[in-house]
Amino acid sequence: MRTILITGPGGCGRTTVAAATALRAAGDGVDTLVLSADRTDTLGAALGTATGAAPVRAADRLTAWRPDATERFRDDLTAFQGRATNVLDLLGAARLDAEEVTPLPGAEELSFLRALRDAALSERYGLLVVDLPPAPRALALLSLPEELRRYLRRLLPPERQAARALRPVLGRLAGVPMPADWLYETAARWDVELAAVEAVLGDRDTAVHLVAEPGPAADDAVRGARLGLALRGLRTEVLIANRVLPETARDPWLAGLAAQHGKTLAEWRAAYDVRTVAHLGRDPRGADDLAALAVPGVDPASAPVEWPVLDRIAEDGVLVWHIPLPGAVRDELDLVRRGDELVITAGPFRRIVPLPSALRRCTVAGAALREDELRVRFAPDPDLWPRGS
């Protein structure tokens, strides 16, 4: 299954473009699911069919779904209370009734990620179109699986569970109770679920369609979103310039705005693969309006994002890790080696990535930003590098 993630600056019309993209794919004969992260039913308004907690048929070969975070959180908490019955009884804690449960901060995001995983793993569809929140929220959402898995591994290392027989002894020596089996089992289950979401996001058939309305205000937002997505290993397949005004607009005010659109589009075309979607002169509503938008189709295949390690030992005595960071600025880059991880900061974005196995036996010898790539040089550590290599 191909997965297309659609985001962009707030108010750029990304939900409408997502609906139109899904409708076009369905019209081309592809069984398609469009998934929305919006709290309000903007997707249903665009499609002309109300969407909600259960998937609904919006058109021939098209299904729309807007997951209910409250319902999923209620189910998760109820299941958690069931697994932790002994602990809750020991503490004298009162259980929450399902009717009084409201989502905690972050529950909505986790609920949506699980829905994304379930949708992507379904065999019913050939295409999943994901209507993400505006770019800043979308980037935070997409980083959540990797960050949470890292936290879980640090707080509850799986290898400690192996010392199950020693846990009572360690508890007496330390004077505090040791984590119970159910806690490790819960962490392991979450790790599996988050890993499945990561697999969907990192799949070679997952790509991003970035939507923006051309203009000076959107330029920085597009550059920042593309950089943040690249740092997450996500490729921006196409930039969709939405609500483009015709160059032949006669009204002086519209003509000035159209000229501004044209100037921005010329700059974007020099840097991105740009597709334009014309302004209809009204808010698109229903299948006919969505078809009139003429959004770009979805390519059947996607080029994978690669962070290759090139062997330059014979020539320069180093291995070079190539990390694509389109739009990065040299003065806004920072690198920190921490054990077997590399902390990369690019502008407002930060990611902690594990080093490939070969680079763990090396020391950082320098870095440079060239041709939209961060190239980090690693020199083999004589004490760790195999002799004769």
Q: How many domains does the chain have?
A: 2
Q: Does residue 333 sit in helix, strand or coil?
A: strand
Asked which of 292, 319, 340 is the last residue of a domain, the reply is: 292
Q: pLDDT value at position 154? A: 80
Name the nearest CA neighbour of 179 among 190, 171, 191: 171
CA distance 289 to 304: 33
* 21 occurs within a structural domain: yes
Strands of the 318-324 sheet, one edge to the other: 309-312, 318-324, 373-380, 362-370
* pLDDT attached to residue 19: 97
> What CATH number is associated with residue 356?
2.60.40.790
- Please give the Cα distance from 127 to 30 (Å, whole number): 7
Q: Give 10-residue mean pLDDT values along the chain (389 residues).
A: 94 95 96 94 94 92 88 64 56 57 68 90 94 95 91 73 50 50 72 90 93 92 95 94 85 83 92 93 92 90 86 94 95 94 96 94 95 95 75
Q: Which of 292, 324, 351 is the last residue of a domain?
A: 292
For residues 201 and 271, membership in a common domain is answered with: yes
Q: Answer yes or no: do 327 and 196 share one domain.
A: no
**Quick one: pLDDT at residue 96?**
57
The half-sphere exposure of 119 on its side-chain side, counting CA atoms within 13 A, is 29
Q: Are both 274 and 375 inside the same structural domain?
A: no
Tokens of 236: 């921006």
Domain membership flag for residue 74: no
Domain boundary among 266, 292, 318: 292
- In a domain, residue 93? The reply is no
Residue 364, domain extent:
309-380
**Same structural domain, 211 and 331:** no
Q: How far apart are CA 37 and CA 69, in angstroms?
A: 10
Q: Is residue 90 part of a domain?
A: no
Residue whose structure tokens are 């890993």: 195
Do 268 and 345 belong to one domain?
Answer: no
Spatial CA neighbour of 210 closest among 243, 242, 238:
238
CATH number reported for the structural domain that contains residue 188 in this entry = 3.40.50.300
Handedness of CA 99, 102, 107, 111 (dihedral sign): positive
Pair of tokens at residue 270 = 């020099």
Q: Are residues 207 and 338 in the same domain?
A: no
Instruction: Identify the pLDDT of residue 314.
Output: 92
Q: Residue 179: inside a domain, yes or no?
A: yes
How far apart CA 63 and CA 125 sit, in angstroms, is 9
pLDDT tens per residue across span 351-384? 999 999 999 999 999 999 999 999 999 999 988 8
Task: Indicate whether 97 belongs to any domain.
Answer: no
Query: Is residue 246 domain-shared with residue 366, that is, in the same domain?
Result: no
Residue 40 CB-half CA count within 13 A: 4
Q: Which amino acid, 22?
A: A
Both 282 and 326 in a single domain?
no
Structure pTM?
Answer: 0.86
The answer on 154 and 23 residing in a single domain is yes
Specify whether 324 is located in the same domain as 285: no
Domain membership of residue 153 (yes or no) is: yes
Q: Within this chain, do residues 173 and 148 fall inside the same structural domain, yes or no? A: yes
Residue 158 within any structural domain of the chain: yes
Same domain, 285 and 347: no
